Structure 1
Amino acid sequence: MSGTQTLPTAVDALKDKALEHKRGENAEYTISVAQHNISEINSELENLEEAVRDLLYYKTVLEEAFNGSVPTMLSSTIQTVENAVDATQDELLENVQVSDMSNEDVSLDEDETELKVELTPEVETHLSQIRSAKQQVENVSETIQSKLESKRDTWSTRVSAAEELQKILGSQNSDFARTLNHMHQLLTRDLMDSSGNASRFVSEWGNATDNWEEHQSLQSFDDFKAKHDLSDSTIEDVKTLSKSQQLTLADVSMDTLEEMKRVDELESAVELSL
């Protein structure tokens, strides 16, 4: 019976098959670990990329639209980001894999429990670097946002003053009125929206401020007063009108009436009751 294996030979054959099966399981586990580690790295890198994208938006708008200065820590933050993502493909592949299991590591006679897929120590370190870089980016971004909010508040006050004057004058300058509406939209809706296009915002804001400069006398009551050489009392009466308060002839001096009549915008905008 030449085809019949001896008992020791049969046992060895079974052991070889068991070892082969075990190595297959170990290979599957190694692949699972690698996939899990790669997924974690990709997720953190995506978060970092988003934070950097927001930072670059705010930086561009602050510098190019408002001539602001960015924090000095920006350079070191960018370097930290570069260090966190500066890993070669070979290094990443090595870091996401567990050490090979030898035959001695394989147990054939113990009950098996499902192995938990965990991060390798190297990947833990890499993830910590990425998260630290992201935190630095967010800190710088918040500082820049604070500066932008200050710019927005200043410009919003100026635009509101111009809108108030336009209200008195009946928005006689339609071009400037459109500019004010556009500036209000840019300040309240677009400025802090980092999902937008920074270059487009810079361009639109530049066009709006160019038009703003062309209408200096319409920017505020002080500018309007200076251009038309008006008295404080006349300006106060104009402000009364802006609050929709009734103004009668008894409340207005002859000097004020004469000043209003020589300014075309006021003559057509002001209505006095007897």
Structure 2
Amino acid sequence: MSGSKSLPTAVEALDDKAKEHKQAQNTKYHVSVARSNISEINSEFDELATRLRDLKYYKTVLEEAFGGSAPTMTAGAVQAIENATGVTQDDLLENVQSDDVGENEVETHLKQIRSAKKQVKSVIQTIENQLESERSAWTTKVEAAEELQKILGGQNADFSRTLNHMHSLLTRELMDTSGSASNFVSEWENATSDWEKHQSLQSFDDFQEKHDLSDDTIEDVKTLSKSQKLTLADVSMETLEEMKRVDEFESAVELSL
């Protein structure tokens, strides 16, 4: 009799063991899946971290080197990053093991990270466009100054070095996010400081204004600088007089009878 009474108990105990085993298997399975998903999350985080470093570089250069303003959507991108990084790997694993999490939590977290990446990318593209505009404007200025330096025979060595430095910063270093933003800002500030010391050499207009030269004289100087010949009949006495009183033209312009 006692044996017949113990049978249901034994069956119940066996059922409990089976449930525990099944639950353990399910937990191991979910943990395994979670670890796989976490690996994917880590990969997404790596990409997000790279974009975040790029954003920090571009924002610093735009604001501190060129006095620009980052787009208003930068704040939204930062908030998205904070939301995406609010859950840790340990949190996810612990929730899976305690069965406090739905199956979609990891996927939801992945979506948050990808959304943050998308927003950061959008901000970066906007700032890149702003920096490209700055680069284009400054390149035009530097090239105009370089043309004037060629006409004057590169007489001002200090300014020639400044132009070479600015050209290098604009073409090689400005958009290179692997470099240091603070270093670029410092280099650019030094270069533009030297640039401002040579205002009359920044363009033909500045040079013309400083020396009170006529348009005809400037055009004749440009022609002569390109190794094109001018006869005395092509040059007015006023132009010759203006050329004579500008020291920089002594070695830059040569007239022969």
What is the TM-score when the length of structure 2 is the normalising length?
0.85
Superimposed CA distance per residue, residues 147-186 of structure 1 (whole angstroms, 9 cap, x where no aligned partner): 1100111000000000000000011111100000010011
> Structure 1 residues 167, 32: CA separation in 2 closer, same or farther (over 3 Å shift)?
same
- Percent identity between matched residues is 71
Corresponding residue pairs, total: 243
What is the TM-score when the length of structure 1 is the normalising length?
0.80
Contact 1:95 1:122 in 2 (8 A): no
Distance 1:35 1:79 in 2: 26
Partner of 2:189: 206
> Structure 1 residues 25, 76: CA separation in 2 closer, same or farther (over 3 Å shift)?
closer
From 195, 217, 221, the counterpart of 2:200? 217
Unaligned runs of 5+ in 1: 1-14, 101-118
From 97, 105, 126, the counterpart of 1:122? 105
Counterpart amino acid of residue 38 in structure 1: I
Return 255-264 or 199-208, whichever deviates more: 255-264
> Structure 1 residues 95, 246: CA separation in 2 closer, same or farther (over 3 Å shift)?
farther
Structure of higher RCO (CA pairs closer than 8 Å, 6+ residues apart): 1
Partner of 1:112: none
Contact 1:217 1:223 in 2 (8 A): yes
C-alpha displacement of 1:144: 0.8
Contact 2:34 2:106 in 1 (8 A): no
Contact 1:166 1:218 in 2 (8 A): yes
Superimposed CA distance per residue, residues 15-38 of structure 1 (whole angstroms, 9 cap, x where no aligned partner): 9x9999988866654443232111
C-alpha displacement of 1:90: 4.3
Unaligned runs of 5+ in 2: 1-14
- Spell out structure 1 runs of 4+ moving beyond 6 A: 17-25
Counterpart amino acid of residue 85 in structure 2: V
Partner of 2:238: 255
Distance 1:130 1:79 in 2: 11
> Structure 1 residues 201, 64: CA separation in 2 closer, same or farther (over 3 Å shift)?
same
**Residue pairs, 1:28-177, within 5 angstroms:** 29-94=29-94, 120-177=103-160
Partner of 1:10: none
> Structure 1 residues 139, 244: CA separation in 2 closer, same or farther (over 3 Å shift)?
farther
Distance 2:167 2:69 in 1: 23
Partner of 1:111: none
Superimposed CA distance per residue, residues 200-219 of structure 1 (whole angstroms, 9 cap, x where no aligned partner): 00000000000000000100
Counterpart amino acid of residue 209 in structure 1: T
Distance 1:230 1:156 in 2: 26
Distance 2:92 2:218 in 1: 71
Contact 1:34 1:96 in 2 (8 A): yes
**Residue pairs, 1:167-206, within 5 angstroms:** 167-206=150-189
Counterpart amino acid of residue 141 in structure 2: R
Residue 171 of structure 2 aligns to a residue whose secondary structure is helix
Counterpart amino acid of residue 62 in structure 2: L
C-alpha displacement of 1:242: 3.9
Distance 1:83 1:192 in 2: 29
> Structure 1 residues 266, 70: CA separation in 2 closer, same or farther (over 3 Å shift)?
same
> Structure 1 residues 265, 50: CA separation in 2 closer, same or farther (over 3 Å shift)?
same
Return 86-95 or 159-168, whichever deviates more: 86-95
Partner of 1:226: 209
Residue 178 of structure 2 aligns to a residue whose secondary structure is coil
Distance 1:58 1:122 in 2: 33
Distance 1:22 1:90 in 2: 24
Superimposed CA distance per residue, residues 62-110 of structure 1 (whole angstroms, 9 cap, x where no aligned partner): 100000111111112211111111124542223566959xxxxxxxxxx
Residue 86 of structure 1 aligns to a residue whose secondary structure is coil
C-alpha displacement of 1:245: 2.4
